[in-house]
Structure 1
Amino acid sequence: MTVVPSSTSTSLTFAQMSELAAAKGNTLKLKYFPFHGMVEAARFLVYTSGEKYEFVHPEAWPEDKVNTPFGVLPVLNIITESGDNLELAELAVIENFLAKRSGFLGNSVWEESIISMIVSSTSTVFDKYIVMVIRSPDSIRQELLDRWLDLTLPEWIKYHEQYLINSGNTGYYLKGSNEVSLAEIKTATLLPAIMKIAEKREYFSEEKTPALFKVLETAKKHPEYARWLASEEYKDYTAKNIALLGF
Structure 2
Amino acid sequence: MSMVAKRPFITDVSIEKSIQILADPNVSYTLLYWDIFSVGATARELLAFGNAKWSNELVHTSRVGVNEDPWEEGKIPTPFGVIPVLKIVSPANEEVLVAESMVIEQYLAKKFDLFGDNEWEDLTIRGLYSNIHFFLERSLTKMTWIVPERRKRGTEIFLQHFLPEFIKDHEMHLKANGSNGHYIGERLSLADIHLANVIDHFAHLPIASLIMPSFEKSDLISKVRANVERHPLIAAWRASEEWESLRQGSFACYKKSALPDEDAEAMGLSKEE
- Shorter-normalised TM-score: what interval? 0.7 to 0.9
1:1-247 matches, within 5 Å, as 3-13=6-16, 16-58=17-59, 60-64=70-74, 67-174=77-184, 177-194=185-202, 197=207, 199-200=209-210, 202-205=213-216, 208-245=217-254
Structure 1 position 192, deviation (Å): 3.2
> In 2 relative to 1, CA 216–139 (structure 1 residues): closer, same or farther, beyond 3 Å?
same
Contact 2:42-2:197 at 8 Å conserved across structures = yes
| Structure 1 residues 37-62: Cα deviation after superposition (integer angstroms, max 9, x where no partner) | 12211011223433332211235334
Structure 1 position 7, deviation (Å): 4.2
Contact 2:42-2:194 at 8 Å conserved across structures = yes
| Structure 1 residues 190-220: Cα deviation after superposition (integer angstroms, max 9, x where no partner) | 2133356453364233xx4111011111112
> In 2 relative to 1, CA 8–50 (structure 1 residues): closer, same or farther, beyond 3 Å?
farther
**What SS does structure 1 have at the residue aligned with 2:55?**
strand
Partners of 2:93 and 2:240 in 1: CA distance: 29
Partners of 1:9 and 1:26 in 2: CA distance: 18
> In 2 relative to 1, CA 110–60 (structure 1 residues): closer, same or farther, beyond 3 Å?
farther
Structure 1 position 12, deviation (Å): 2.8
1:204 partner amino acid: F
1:185 partner amino acid: I
1:4 partner amino acid: R
5+ unaligned residues in a row in structure 2: which ranges? 60-68, 256-272
Structure 1 position 32, deviation (Å): 0.6
**What SS does structure 2 have at the residue aligned with 1:103?**
coil
| Structure 1 residues 172-198: Cα deviation after superposition (integer angstroms, max 9, x where no partner) | 101xx2221111111111213335645
**What SS does structure 2 have at the residue aligned with 1:140?**
helix
Contact 2:87-2:97 at 8 Å conserved across structures = yes
1:154 partner amino acid: P
Judge which range, 52-61 or 194-203, deviates more. Answer: 194-203
2:190 partner amino acid: L
5+ unaligned residues in a row in structure 1: which ranges? none
